[in-house]
Structure 1
């Protein structure tokens, strides 16, 4: 679905201290952005911010960064974070393919990837956020022993992602093909997840840990 251009979105984002306009400028300095030394968790493709704002609300001693590409989406993320009245979340506009140089070695403690584009065609699979190309990039800034939490409703993407994690020297420490009927107790539901679970969608989930 093509988003209608919101010309007012970028000025409104830039008026907020919660928005980071030039994330590459803060490589190695993200703890200064938050004003503390707490662990930093990163959501890649934060959508409209339900997951990000709820995580920040539930875990005030952890800092959260949400990244997405479109101002038209991030403006809703900003409103969600503002409504949650949290000070441990920031948002940034970025093409995730350009994430190199945004974070320094060992700067991030956990990554969340929720319902990313499955890119089903073979020629597009390297664009998947769980592809070995990206997993190798993430390892440059994840702390040793860090985890990536990955959710999807696409079986093909999920099963090929299992291969990607194994090929990239991640240990899969949790895996389920039906998250909502599993024993996992720490799920925070996204907007997409809420909508399609009601339609009978099953959410697949895994945790990959750096060996």
Structure 2
């Protein structure tokens, strides 16, 4: 579906610096100072319209959440949710995830969430998948020891290729579900895509992995 352009989005994002970090490279190595506390830092890459990161921040006030989204016409919807919720423990970054090392210091992040990422199904596009080894290298760098990646998708092909990518990289698989909504997993917070695909009868795949440090 074609993304609707919102020419006013940039100005709106700039108008809320308490929620949208305009120069995130300045927070590198001092994100706890940017949040004003020493709580663990969880990031969601590809935060979309922001339901997940907003609801997680509400449910876990003792954690700091950062939603990362490249498309400003999408992330502005996440900003609307955060403004309405008026919660202090969530921030947004309108940046490219390929530049994570520009924004986070080694061992600064406690958890990475990857929710319903673009599957890039063609083999020639495999390097663009957020679970490809080059991305895993970045996650490993910015994550603390025993930091985790929580991954959800409705795309079986992406899930299978991601599990292989995790395994090839030598990661430890600590949780896997081939049908999350029919499992006994507790505390799941759905994304907009998750609700849509679940309502269509698609199983939701989920995994938790960590690096062997």
**TM-score band w.r.t. shorter chain:** over 0.9
**Which residues of structure 2 form unaligned runs of 5+?**
none
1:142-165 CA distance string (max 9 Å, x none)? 000011000011111111111111
Query: What corresponds to 1:5 in structure 2?
Result: 5
CA deviation after TM superposition for structure 1 residue 25, in Å: 2.3
Structure 1: how far apart are the matches of 2:4 and 2:63?
Answer: 34
- Give the distance between the partners of 2:22 and 2:131, measured in 1 at CA: 25
Give TM-score, length-normalised by structure 1: 0.97
Is the Cα–Cα contact under 8 Å of residues 54 and 84 in structure 1 kept in the other structure?
no
Q: Give the RMSD, CA atoms, in angstroms.
A: 0.9
Q: How many residues align?
A: 211
TM-score normalised by L of structure 2 = 0.96
Residues 103-150 of structure 1: per-residue CA shift (max 9 Å, x gap): 001110001000000001111001000111101111111000011000
Q: CA deviation at 1:49?
A: 0.5
CA–CA separation in structure 2 for the residues paired with 1:155 and 1:6: 32
Q: Cα distance, 1:169 vs. partner? A: 2.4
2:51 and 2:191 in contact (8 A); partners too? yes
Matched residues in 2 for 1:21 and 1:50: separation?
21
For residue 178 of structure 1, what is the aligned residue in structure 2? 179
Q: Distance in 2 between matches of 1:103 and 1:87?
A: 20
* C-alpha contact 1:170 1:209 (8 A) present in aligned 2: yes
Secondary structure of the residue aligned to 1:3 is coil
Alignment of 1:1-211 (within 5 A): 1-16=1-16, 17-211=18-212
Are the aligned partners of 1:108 and 1:141 in contact in 2 as well (CA < 8 Å)? yes
Q: Offset at 1:4?
A: 2.2
**In terms of mean alpha carbon deviation, does 94-103 or 27-36 score higher?**
94-103
Does the Cα contact within 8 Å between 2:101 and 2:142 map onto a contact in 1? no
